[in-house]
Amino acid sequence: MENNLVLTEAGKRCLQMLLKVWLDFDLAITKVPIVQRLEQQRLSVEDYQKLLINMRQQVIEGSRWISRCASSFDRHYSDVRSSVIRHAQEEHKDYLLLEADYIATGGELSTIESGNKNIGSEALHGFLMYRATQPNPVDLIGAMWIIEGLGNKMAMKWAKLINEQFSFECKATAFMEYHGENDESHLQELYQLIDRLATSDKNITDIVRTAKVVAKLYQLQLQEVDNDN
C-alpha cells in the first residue's frame, strides 16, 4: 500500500476513527445469523436468494441517496460534487447485476422485482435520504466508508464462499464481485474526500457519527433478512 494515502493530520484522525467504526461493524455483522451461515458455509440457495432480494431494495435506493447527496453540495464544494456524481454514475445500475445473479440462482425476475424493503432497509434509506437532503452533507463520507467497506468484504470474502458452496450454471455472484473491481481507486477517492472534508473537529464528529448510524442500520437490514416482513 502506498504511503501517505491520507495527507492531513485531521484526515488521518478521521480515518483512524472510521477504521474503528468499520472494525466494530465487521464484528457486529459477523454475529448476524444469515452472515454466520454464509461465512460458516451453512447457507442454503433460498438464503442466498433472500439475501439478494433484500439487498436489491437498498441498492436501488443507494443510487438515489448518492445522487441527492451530490446535488446538496453547493458551489463551494463543486469538486466534491463532481466526485460524488462520478460515484453515483458508476453504481446506479448495480441492481441489474444483482437481478441477473438472482435469476442465475433459479429465481424469477418478477419475484425480485416485486420485493419490498425490509424494516432495516426502510430505516437505512430514510436516514440516508434525510441526511443527503441537508445542505453540504459532509457527514455522508461516513456512510460511503461503511458501504464501500462492505462492498469490499462481499467481493473478497462472501463471493468466494458462495462460489465454493454452490455450483450454479451461470455466474451468480457478479454483484458481489463487482465491488472488488476498481476497489483501490474507490478507496483512493474516499481518502481524497476525507482529506478534503475532515477539516474541523465538527466535520470529523459528524462523519464518524453518520458512519456509526449507517453501520447500525445496515446491521439491522441484514438481521431483517431472516424475518418475513
Partner 1 sequence: MNVYINSTGHFLPGKAVNNDEIEDVLGLIYGKKSRLKKRILKSNGIVQRHYAINNQQQTQISNSNMAANAGVSCIEKSFIPMSKIQMLSCATSQGDLVLPGFGSMVQAALNLPEVELHTTHGICSSSMMALKAAYTNIKCDDVDNALVIASELTSRLFKSSRYEQVESNKIDFNAEFLRWMLSDGAGALLLENRQRISGKSLQINWIKSFSNADVYPVCMTVGTAKNDVNNKTWQDYETYACAEKAGALLLRQDVRLLDNIVSVGVNGFLKLISQNYVRPDEIDHVLCHFSSKYFKSKIFDMLETAGISIPEHKWYTNLYERGNTGCASIFIMIDEFINTHDLKSGETIFCMVPESGRFNCAYMHLTVAG
Which region, judged by CB under 8 A, interacts with partner 1, from 10-18, 43-51, 96-104, 197-205? 10-18
From residue 220, alpha-carbon distances to 34, 80, 117, 168 in Å are 12, 30, 12, 29
CB of 28 to partner 1, least distance (A): 8
Considering the complex, state which of residue 12 and residue 64 has its C-beta at the smaller distance from partner 1: 12
Q: Sign of torsion, CA 37 157 175 30?
A: positive
**Residue 207 phi, psi (nearest 5):** -60, -45
Alpha carbons 128 and 38: distance in angstroms, whole number: 27
Per-position x/- string for 16-45, each x denoting binding to partner 1 as judged by CB under 8 A, each - no binding: xx-xx--xx-xx--xx--------x-----
Which region, judged by CB under 8 A, interacts with partner 1, from 15-23, 57-65, 131-139, 220-228? 15-23
Q: Is 82 in the site for partner 1 (CB under 8 A)?
A: no
Considering the complex, state which of residue 5 and residue 104 has its C-beta at the smaller distance from partner 1: 5
- In contact, 58 and 117? CB cutoff 8 Å: yes
| Length in residues, the chain | 229
- What nine digits make up the cell of 211? 458512519
Positions touching partner 1 (CB under 8 A) are 1, 3, 5-6, 9, 11-13, 15-17, 19-20, 23-24, 26-27, 30-31, 40
